[in-house]
């Protein structure tokens, strides 16, 4: 045997230390088997041994081996036949053949039949280390791929469950909630007839607001199921952005009148063109306007504005309010699904009431739609003074 | 890759929504129970309404808790 470095050569098993790599060495000569055991021990591996191909296959039946080293010239069953049977019955097991120079042709033949690699005699520690290292990396990569595939399958399965649940519950939950609300209203009327202690009124208040919250969640479920649609194919076309603002203004001004909020718009006189999916972009801007409506108190102001910057060739579409604003430490969170600024402060039932509830998917939807358009969404806010949300789009000719 | 990311976010949102619904249902159950305990009256109408409210709560519980579990086990 040739001299070796006294420094223990490391085999890279860092990827997944928890993954075991069982190694089997098939070699007919007892002394050679012993030397292989010592060599692998030196490299940091405990190996099992078998004296011929037949005995090796028996061992494989009883225990999974990820790597098999086999000599080619052996009695009873030679290395090539052993290789064929291993690859046939245990395709994931990697086989590395050990061969003398005289049988190099057989080694090449072995490679053609699926061997991972071959090692020539006299066996070099360094060569074994390199081949083993590569083999382990290959096995780990395969396991990682399998894990990713399994995760992906699980994700698809969960997505399927989600779709089924939302389809079913969006319809099914409405009925019991409506009945619940009906009986609760009857109960409230019945209790009005008799004197009730303060505690009862408190419970009634909690029940009322909880039923409202749940109804709101169910109402918003379809938004959730539609969320991923926004990143799918957009039906983009050249569109005059002033028109989009006017559409939204007409549809929403009555809600602002109800809340006694001054709702106005300012269009750009150059009437800029942008490349957008008008329906989806309108949905995004409506969410921003609804958000402004929710967080602006009575007698407040909300301004919808379009501005073209010719130098930068950009169109700024902004929704500004003088509402409650967003605390600076919360600015990074508002585009996360299910985040609502008022969560810790207030609960209300309606989307249009001041600080009214929702399930907090609105702004994350705006972000997804904006990103799908390759546009930018910015927010400036001062607590107590108001917020400005701006969608920045490229102007087109 | 992008599709997986979206799907993963979507599933996360669904799990969060379920969690939210379960939390609200729990608040509702507790409040109705306490209401019953504190009402302590023999008015048949009140009792009838409370019974119906409990029936509906049970239906909602089945939808929110049992249906997702059933999908999973399938």
User: Looking at the domain assignment, is residue A10 inside a domain?
Assistant: no
How far apart CA A195 and CA A217 sit, in angstroms, is 33
* Closest-approach residue (CA) in chain A for B71: A161
* Nearest CB neighbour to A227, from listed B13, B56, B71: B13
Q: Judge if A179 and A289 occupy the same domain.
A: no
Measured between CB atoms, does B62 come within 8 Å of chain A?
no
Query: Does the distance separating the beta carbons of A165 and B14 come in below 8 Å?
Result: yes
End position of a domain, from candidates A226, A258, A274 = A226
What pLDDT is stored for residue B60 in this prediction?
A: 86
Q: What percent of chain A has pLDDT over 90?
A: 34
Q: Which of A82-91, A278-287, B13-22, B24-33 has the highest mean pLDDT?
A: A82-91
Q: Out of A53-62, A91-100, A237-246, B22-31, which region has the weakest mean confidence (pLDDT)?
A: B22-31
* Final residue of a structural domain among A226, A250, A270: A226
CA–CA separation, A117 vs A110, rounded Å? 8
**Would you say residue A291 has pLDDT above 80?**
yes
**What's the mean pLDDT in A175-188?**
86
Residue A357 resides in a domain? yes
Q: What is the pLDDT of residues A242-271, one digit of tens each?
A: 999 998 898 888 788 878 899 999 999 999
Q: What is the DSSP letter of B3?
A: H
Q: Is A396 on the interface with B (CB under 8 A)?
A: no
- Count the neighbouring beta carbons within 10 Å of the beta carbon of residue A250: 9
Q: CATH no. for residue A386?
A: 3.30.565.10
Query: Could you tell me if B22 lies within 8 Å of chain A, comparing CB atoms?
Result: no
Per DSSP, A228 falls in state G
Whether residues A237 and A364 share a domain: the answer is: yes
CATH of the domain at A186: 1.10.287
Q: Are residues A44 and A62 in the same domain?
A: yes
B38, A227: Cβ pair inside 8 Å? no
**A174/A192 same-domain check:** yes
Mean pLDDT, residues A295-320 taken together: 94
Domain extent, residue A207, equals 160-226
Same domain, A316 and A373: yes
SS3 call for A392:
strand
User: Does some domain include residue A55?
Assistant: yes
Please check whether residue A67 lies inside any domain of the structure. Answer: yes
Instruction: Report the pLDDT value the prediction gives residue B1, as an integer from 0 to 100.
Output: 60
**For residue A169, is it within any domain?**
yes
Task: List all residues of chain A from 230 to 289 with a beta carbon under 8 Å from chain B.
Answer: 231
Residues A208 and A241 in one domain: no
B40: left (phi over 0), alpha (psi -120 to 50) or beta: left
Residues A194 and A104 in one domain: no
Number of independent structural domains in chain A: 3
Report the residue of B37, B46, B49, B58 to disrupt the A interface, i.e. the one with the largest count of A CBs within 10 Å: B49
- Specify whether A371 is located in the same domain as A253: yes
* DSSP track, A150-188: HHHHHHHHHHHHHHHHHHHHHHHTHHHHHHHHHHHHHHH
Assess whether A244 and A343 both reside in one domain: yes
Question: pLDDT tens digits for A71-91?
Answer: 888 887 888 899 999 999 999
User: Is residue A179, in this structure, part of any structural domain at all?
Assistant: yes
* pLDDT at residue B18, as a whole number: 77
Residues A69 and A200 in one domain: no
Average per-residue pLDDT for chain B: 78
Q: What is the CATH number of the domain that holds A86?
A: 3.40.50.2300
CB A106 within 8 A of CB A99: yes
List of chain B residues whose C-beta atoms are within 8 Å of the C-beta of residue A151:
none
Q: Quick one: pLDDT band at residue A206, thresholds 50, 70, 90?
A: confident
Which of B10, B29, B32, B61 is the mutation pick for testing A, counting most A CBs within 10 A?
B10
Residue among A175, A184, A187 with most chain B CBs within 10 A, to mutate: A187
Q: How far is CA B64 from the centre of its chain?
A: 5
Give A345 or B19, the one with higher predicted confidence. B19
Assess whether A209 and A181 both reside in one domain. yes
Judgement on whether residues A334 and A271 belong to the same structural domain of the protein: yes
Enter the pTM of the model: 0.45
- What are the beta bridge partners of residue A392? A316, A376
Q: What is the mean pLDDT of residues B53-58?
A: 89
**E strand or H helix at A366:** helix A362-372
Ordered DSSP codes for A61-95: HHS--SEEEEESS-SSS-HHHHHHHHHHH-TTSEE
Q: Which of A197, A226, A255 marks a domain boundary? A: A226
- Does A1 reside within a domain? no
Query: The complex's ipTM?
Result: 0.78
Contacts of B39 (CB under 8 A, 6+ apart): A191, A196, A200, B46, B50
Average pLDDT (A213-226) is: 70
Question: d(Cα A286, Cα A253) in Å, to the nearest integer?
Answer: 11
Percent of chain A with pLDDT over 70: 83
Residue A344 lies in a domain: yes
Pairing mode, strands A262-266 and A376-382 = unpaired
Instruction: Summarize the confidence of residues B28-51 as an average pLDDT.
Output: 84
């Amino acid at each position: 045997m040739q001299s070796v470095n006294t420094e223990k050569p490391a085999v890279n098993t860092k990827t997944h230390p928890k993954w075991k790599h069982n190694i089997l060495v098939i070699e007919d000569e007892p002394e050679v088997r012993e030397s292989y055991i010592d060599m692998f021990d030196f490299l940091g591996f405990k190996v099992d041994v078998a004296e011929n191909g037949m005995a090796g296959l028996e061992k494989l039946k009883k225990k999974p081996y990820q790597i098999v080293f086999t000599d080619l010239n052996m009695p009873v069953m030679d290395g090539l036949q052993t290789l064929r049977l291993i690859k046939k019955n245990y395709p994931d097991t990697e086989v590395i053949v050990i061969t003398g120079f005289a049988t190099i042709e057989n080694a090449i033949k072995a490679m053609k039949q699926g061997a991972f690699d071959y090692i020539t005699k006299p066996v070099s520690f360094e060569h074994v280390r390199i081949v083993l290292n590569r083999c382990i990396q290959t096995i780990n990569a395969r396991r990682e791929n399998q894990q990713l595939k399994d995760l992906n399958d699980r994700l698809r399965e969960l997505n399927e469950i989600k779709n089924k649940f939302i389809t079913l519950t969006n319809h099914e939950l409405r009925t019991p909630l409506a009945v619940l609300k009906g009986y609760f209203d009857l109960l409230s009327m019945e209790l009005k007839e008799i004197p009730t202690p303060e505690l009862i009124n408190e419970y009634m208040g909690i029940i009322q607001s909880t039923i409202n919250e749940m109804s709101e969640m169910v109402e918003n479920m379809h938004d959730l199921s539609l969320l991923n649609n926004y990143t799918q194919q957009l039906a983009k076309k050249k569109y005059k952005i002033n028109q989009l603002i006017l559409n939204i203004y007409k549809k929403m001004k009555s809600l602002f009148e109800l809340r006694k909020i001054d709702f106005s718009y300012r269009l750009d006189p150059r009437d800029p063109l942008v490349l957008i999916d008008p329906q989806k972009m309108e949905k995004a801007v409506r969410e921003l306007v609804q958000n402004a409506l929710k967080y602006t108190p009575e007698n407040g102001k909300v301004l919808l504005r379009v501005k073209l910057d010719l130098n930068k060739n950009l169109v700024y579409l902004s929704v500004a309010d003088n509402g409650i604003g967003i605390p600076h430490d919360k600015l990074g969170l508002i585009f996360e699904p299910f985040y609502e600024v008022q969560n810790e402060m207030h609960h209300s039932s309606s989307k249009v009431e001041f600080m009214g509830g929702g399930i907090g998917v609105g702004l994350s939807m705006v972000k997804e739609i904006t990103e799908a358009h390759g546009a930018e969404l910015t927010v400036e806010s001062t607590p107590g003074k108001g917020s400005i949300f701006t969608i920045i789009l490229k102007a087109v000719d | 890759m992008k599709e997986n990311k979206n799907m993963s976010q979507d599933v996360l949102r669904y799990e969060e929504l379920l969690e939210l619904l379960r939390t609200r249902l729990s608040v509702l159950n507790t409040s109705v129970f306490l209401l019953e305990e504190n009402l302590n009256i023999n008015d048949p109408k009140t009792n009838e309404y409370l019974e119906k409210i409990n029936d509906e709560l049970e239906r909602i519980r089945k939808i929110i808790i049992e249906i997702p579990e059933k999908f999973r086990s399938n």
